[in-house]
Amino acid sequence: MSDNEETENAGANAYWKENIRLLLTLMAIWFLVSFGAGILFRDFLDQFMIGGFPLGFWFAQQGSIYIFIVLIFYYAWKMKKIERHYDLDD
């Protein structure tokens, strides 16, 4: 195997490692918001009201969707940055 192929493989491995780490981090955040805030911490959050509804209910119905949309845009922005770093951008 030539030095060029080894360099490309190392770059590809580093790219995928960074990509998977980002994906797992964002999925963990989404899980904590949707499952944690909507189910596990519901009793505590229901002490607070937002839009006339208990906060735990709001997170279960609306909040997790909004957070997921924000995470999608963050993922797209961060992946563009990672792709530029590894010279893979379009």
Q: How many domains does the chain have?
A: 1
Average pLDDT of the residues in 75-88: 94
Number of residues written out for the chain: 90
The range of the structural domain enclosing residue 12 comes to: 3-85
Residue 34: predicted pLDDT: 84
Q: Is the pLDDT of residue 3 over 90?
A: no
Q: What is the pLDDT of residue 62?
A: 86
Query: 52, exposed or middle or buried, with CB in 10 Å at 0-12, 13-18, 19+?
Result: exposed
pLDDT at residue 88 tops 60: yes
Q: Between these two residues, 7 and 42, which has the higher pLDDT value?
A: 42
Is the residue at 32 inside a domain?
yes
Is 90 contained in some domain?
no
Task: Tell me if 29 sits within 8 A of 37, measured CB to CB.
Answer: no
Residue 8 has pLDDT above 80, yes or no: no
Q: What is the pLDDT of residue 1?
A: 56
Encode pLDDT of 16-74 as tens digits.
999 999 999 999 999 988 888 878 888 898 999 988 989 888 888 888 899 999 999 99
